[in-house]
Structure 1
Amino acid sequence: MTIPGVVFQPDVYRGMQRGINQLVDAIGPTLGPRPRIVAIERIAQRGKSPELLDSGGLIARRIVELPGRTTDVGAMFLRHVLWQVHQTVGDGTATTAVLFQKIFNEGVRYVTAGGNAMVLRRHLETGLQVILDELDRMAISLSGAEKLAQMAESVCYDAPMAATLGEIFDLIGEHGRLEIRDGRSREVEREFVDGSYWESGALDKKAISQNVDLTVRMVMPFIFISDLPLDAPQKILDDLTTAKKAGAPNALLIGSTISDDVAGMLHQINAGSKGFQVIAAKTPGKTPTEQAAALADIALLTGGQPYLKDAGNALGTVKAEDFGQARRIWVDKNHLGIVRGQGNPAQVRDHINKLRRAVDRATDARARKALQLRVGRLLGGTAVLWVGAPTESEITMRKALAQRTADTLRGAIRQGMVPGGGAALLACRPAVAKTLAQSHTTDERQARQILLSALEAPLRTIVRNAGFEDSVVIGRLNHNHRGFGFDVNSGVVANMAQAGIWDSTATVKTAVHSAVTGAALALTTDAFVLHRKRAQAGEP
């Protein structure tokens, strides 16, 4: 057991290598179309079958501590890098892991032999830009259900799922909304929902209980958009009268809560009116920030004016022009749906474009997903992927795979695709070799040599995982043209494009960037400060 205090070289490198190598040895087998499965013991549910995973990101997340303090630091450093990749692009964690391991181990060997870690880091990062530029040059755009399905299958290796996701993304595009749910059978099915919907639901469950499907539907309603509590019967009656005088055939009230008096009044209105009906729905969003964003989006979509508690707005003061409108709405126990809002189309388009730019700029994965969801809702229409399997654990595993594939497809639609199976990285070697020939110092030459060796690592790992000899395959590929790789399913050298084997450009670039910058940073770590009480890693 390491004594609390400060640890210096060479113990820092030794500990980091042990942790990094152990983590990569657990993740590397998942790379490629013939991956091995990693079984994770369920700590909180002993006695249940282990969790079976083939996702590098999830495997890294499940490993929260390794024996040995310095070993654990190395593992947790890489774990954080891999989880960031997982959250950013969904796929590519196994590629990142093997690249990181190769760069770090080769770098340690050079630095311990007398090399300068800081200079080596600088040359690794300049070499990285050469690789990224080369990947951009070989990228081609992705469109059409067939190409999308090929791209999807290169990620999930599940033909039915890939074909369905190809159809879905051909319709919804990069920013469209996709929900992945537990299947209703053992197969993969898809469904398209018209309009936009939010996690909300009826404030008064009795209002929907009279319908067989527990859903209230309205045509051309006026919509009161607010985060106010619906607790003043007379004031709400005044606002409904305003809407009715303006020609509203129905009304939707959105608010934070509803009082018993207001709920009773709405029951009386619905029971006593032959045409005019009213339904109250909960303000969407769990936090004030989410609620403000949802109300702003609904207001733009429907052309209404949001009434906000923080702005001092009040019930009983609503003007006819403040109501939003839509062709149809529906409300059930947990959702509020709006179909064809009557807002200004130009303003809606401008708002969507602003949100898209915000998605591209976002660096926080959760913020990016929240913005992506807002764009998807405003575009209208949601695709639902129903994922089935024989057992509950298989459904969970297959849903995670579907989400990872969907995230990869979004990146591929945005940045294009490159030859898969490690072929794109192998095709970057001539550009790096050219800079090697132009290098002037030992540190620069060594950095280029490390990158040349690392660019082979993903393909070598894929080949070994499939049971082939990697050195033999690399030797054969060295005599073939750019874009050729090894199709492990057929066991032959092939043109990856013609074989329909692709990788997302965004995924490959993110993997390379994270591996090079992460490993270079780790190489310049000279000391650990260890505390007396070790904190177990939680969220990466």
Structure 2
Amino acid sequence: MPTPHVLLGAEASARLRDGIDLLARLVSLSLGPRTGALAFERDDRRKSAELLTSSATIARRMLAIPGRGATAGAMLLRHAIWRTHERLGDGGATTAALTHALLRAGARQVAAGANPMLLRRGMQQGLELACAALQAQARPLDTPERLGGLAHAATGDPALSRVLGEIFGRLGPEAVIRIEEYAASYIAFTVLEGTAWSASMASPLFITDQARRATRFRDARVLVTDQVIDRPTQLIRLLEQVVARRAGPLLILAEDVTGPARALLLANRDRGIIQVVAARPGWVGAERRGTYEDVALLTNAYFFAKDRADVLDTADLSELGHARLAEVDAERLTIVGGAGVPAQIELRRQMVRHQLGAAADEESRRREIERLGRLAGGVGVLKLGAASDSERQVRKELAERFIRFVPSAAEEGVVPGGGAAYLACQAALDAASAAGDEVAAGVGLVRSALEAPMGWLVQNAGMSAPVALAEVRRNGPGWGIDVMHETCVDMWSANVLDAAKVARIALESAVSVAAMALTAGAVVLKRRPVYSRTP
């Protein structure tokens, strides 16, 4: 059985570097649209090896490597890659390539006698200069062509990227996209007008269209509450006002509508006094309150909240919202043409964007992205098919990854892809890296590492990295290698683009991991380390 152990000084740093270097080289092999798959042996050796092309999946599969100290280092990088993927949906392979380059060059500097702490300070300085240079190159993600270029860089699938560019170009980068799988080789999209939420009818007795098992109203009034409505007195005053003023059909969204209150609604509906439908939400957990508030905001309704002790018995017609069209079926509530105030909706979108930036996990990010899309008032349906199940699954995973990271790309814009943006940042570090001291050497580590993503990308495509880099430099900033055609092109003109935020965070993660490994003074190895499949 392994015993607890402590690695100190140079040995601690060296073992961490060994593990990071091994995992970084493995993951870097997945960088770019022309890469081979990594074969991972399965636990059940009777089955064929698993073929992996996703940087995040490769990192996640690595639970340990030879050497306990090296495993600790590999887990540092594994965590950084996975968190970058969780946060942005992309950037894991770039993080690995940059980390590999920083560590290789940094280890040589330390071996030559450089002070690791001064190198770290220089690396941080170089990072700040490079991030500023990245931001200076960024352009807004505001055209279908740029969206398509970003999709092609992320998926490497021309047909899929074209459709993704069209759908996000129409609905915006914060759109809600639902994927429907088809057996035939088929890629297309449709846009569902309005906003849809998971919901169902409080009773099937409210159904008016038996063929569709749905109820649809035009020019509907909307009551929104998170209370259970079970007493007739909660509704009588409001119903009297709606009928007296001929205010139109009534949609009630409540936690539930039961007992005598539901009987009152159905009796008045059956006598032709009022058209009414009651819906109850399908959302759960942390999203409940926010979703009620969003429905109220989009329809300009007052939200009768139970935690404010709002009383439905005295509700007024002026507190109801309005929708040009409202529909409830067994699975969802759809509202089209809500009477919400645009300025207030935009304020809510800004608040949700802030919450998205602070989201701590993938589930929270998904929830906030969906809220943004619904507040935009449209839902896209991506119809996805392929010739085989495996091809369809690959396309679905690529589409899901791109859909997840588009909002992040929209935040800071896009930059030339294929590592060209990093290469163009080198000039911003020239002066600081030429001072001749150890801090300047740290800046130089970052400057030289900025070549790594393009180098790995062209190398993975079977091209010569030194030759490709030399050709790009002859053409100037913004130029790079289109590895699909093996030509040097203006990346803006060719629409080969990367998300500026992904590029920035990948570089920040790489510098953080490399600096930690170079300056580590000790590594404590436990007797029984816990292996986690979730980094």
Fold shared by both chains (TM-score > 0.5): yes
Deviation at 1:35, TM superposition (A): 1.9
Deviation at 1:112, TM superposition (A): 4.2
For 1:92, the equivalent position in structure 2 comes to: 91
For 1:219, the equivalent position in structure 2 comes to: 218
For 1:61, the equivalent position in structure 2 comes to: 60
Over 3 Å counting, the alpha-carbon distance change for 1:343 and 1:134 in structure 2 is: closer
For 1:518, the equivalent position in structure 2 comes to: 513
In structure 1, how many angstroms separate the alpha carbons of the residues matched to 2:341 and 2:498?
A: 39
In structure 1, how many angstroms separate the alpha carbons of the residues matched to 2:491 and 2:342?
A: 43
| Amino acid aligned to 1:203 | A
CA contact (8 A) 2:366 2:404 kept: no
1:113-512 counterparts in 2 under 5 A?
A: 113-183=112-182, 185-205=184-204, 207-208=206-207, 211-233=210-232, 235-236=234-235, 239-259=238-258, 262-263=261-262, 266-270=265-269, 272-274=270-272, 276-287=274-285, 289-359=286-356, 366-437=363-434, 439-441=435-437, 443-512=438-507
In structure 2, how many angstroms separate the alpha carbons of the residues matched to 1:212 and 1:462?
A: 55
CA contact (8 A) 2:183 2:387 kept: no
Over 3 Å counting, the alpha-carbon distance change for 1:171 and 1:46 in structure 2 is: farther
CA contact (8 A) 2:145 2:495 kept: no
Over 3 Å counting, the alpha-carbon distance change for 1:248 and 1:209 in structure 2 is: closer
For 1:19, the equivalent position in structure 2 comes to: 19
CA contact (8 A) 2:126 2:447 kept: no
| Amino acid aligned to 1:244 | V
In structure 2, how many angstroms separate the alpha carbons of the residues matched to 1:122 and 1:273?
A: 79
Deviations 1:21-42 (A, max 9, x none): 3322332221112122235566
| Amino acid aligned to 2:168 | F
SS of residue in 2 equivalent to 1:221 = strand
Deviation at 1:453, TM superposition (A): 2.7
Name the % identity.
33
Deviation at 1:279, TM superposition (A): 2.0
In structure 1, how many angstroms separate the alpha carbons of the residues matched to 2:411 and 2:216?
A: 37
CA contact (8 A) 1:13 1:108 kept: no
Paired positions, count: 535
CA contact (8 A) 2:243 2:273 kept: no
In structure 2, how many angstroms separate the alpha carbons of the residues matched to 1:63 and 1:261?
A: 59
For 1:3, the equivalent position in structure 2 comes to: 3
- Of stretches 60-69 and 214-223 in structure 1, the one that deviates more from structure 2 is 60-69
2:527 aligned to 527, 532, 540, which one?
A: 532
| Amino acid aligned to 1:531 | K
SS of residue in 2 equivalent to 1:464 = helix
| Amino acid aligned to 1:282 | R
Deviations 1:321-364 (A, max 9, x none): 22222111111222111111123333333333443455456676
SS of residue in 1 equivalent to 2:101 = helix
| Amino acid aligned to 1:276 | I
Deviation at 1:164, TM superposition (A): 1.0
For 1:38, the equivalent position in structure 2 comes to: 38
Over 3 Å counting, the alpha-carbon distance change for 1:199 and 1:46 in structure 2 is: farther
SS of residue in 2 equivalent to 1:534 = coil
CA contact (8 A) 2:199 2:283 kept: yes
SS of residue in 1 equivalent to 2:313 = coil
Over 3 Å counting, the alpha-carbon distance change for 1:231 and 1:457 in structure 2 is: same
CA contact (8 A) 1:301 1:343 kept: yes
- Could you list the runs of 5+ residues in structure 2 that have no partner in the other structure? none
Over 3 Å counting, the alpha-carbon distance change for 1:99 and 1:217 in structure 2 is: same
CA contact (8 A) 1:220 1:325 kept: yes
Deviations 1:32-90 (A, max 9, x none): 121222355666x9877765442212332343444543232212211221122213322
Name the Cα RMSD after superposition: 2.8
In structure 2, how many angstroms separate the alpha carbons of the residues matched to 1:436 and 1:255?
A: 63
Deviation at 1:123, TM superposition (A): 0.5
In structure 2, how many angstroms separate the alpha carbons of the residues matched to 1:327 and 1:184?
A: 36
Over 3 Å counting, the alpha-carbon distance change for 1:257 and 1:515 in structure 2 is: same
SS of residue in 2 equivalent to 1:453 = helix
Deviations 1:130-154 (A, max 9, x none): 2112222233334322232122212
| Amino acid aligned to 2:303 | P
- Of stretches 277-286 and 48-57 in structure 1, the one that deviates more from structure 2 is 48-57
In structure 1, how many angstroms separate the alpha carbons of the residues matched to 2:166 and 2:401?
A: 17
- Could you list the runs of 5+ residues in structure 1 that have no partner in the other structure? none
Over 3 Å counting, the alpha-carbon distance change for 1:367 and 1:160 in structure 2 is: same
Deviation at 1:220, TM superposition (A): 1.9
CA contact (8 A) 1:51 1:393 kept: no
- Of stretches 298-307 and 142-151 in structure 1, the one that deviates more from structure 2 is 142-151
Over 3 Å counting, the alpha-carbon distance change for 1:300 and 1:15 in structure 2 is: same
CA contact (8 A) 2:9 2:520 kept: no
CA contact (8 A) 2:202 2:278 kept: yes
Deviation at 1:236, TM superposition (A): 4.0
In structure 2, how many angstroms separate the alpha carbons of the residues matched to 1:431 and 1:90?
A: 28
In structure 1, how many angstroms separate the alpha carbons of the residues matched to 2:342 and 2:507?
A: 41
In structure 2, how many angstroms separate the alpha carbons of the residues matched to 1:349 and 1:109?
A: 52
TM-score, normalized by length of structure 1? 0.90
Over 3 Å counting, the alpha-carbon distance change for 1:182 and 1:62 in structure 2 is: farther
Over 3 Å counting, the alpha-carbon distance change for 1:177 and 1:21 in structure 2 is: same
For 1:29, the equivalent position in structure 2 comes to: 29
In structure 1, how many angstroms separate the alpha carbons of the residues matched to 2:183 and 2:344?
A: 39
CA contact (8 A) 1:183 1:189 kept: no
In structure 1, how many angstroms separate the alpha carbons of the residues matched to 2:239 and 2:374?
A: 27
Deviation at 1:125, TM superposition (A): 0.7
Deviations 1:193-243 (A, max 9, x none): 111111222233454496222322111222221111233355445543443
Over 3 Å counting, the alpha-carbon distance change for 1:456 and 1:347 in structure 2 is: closer
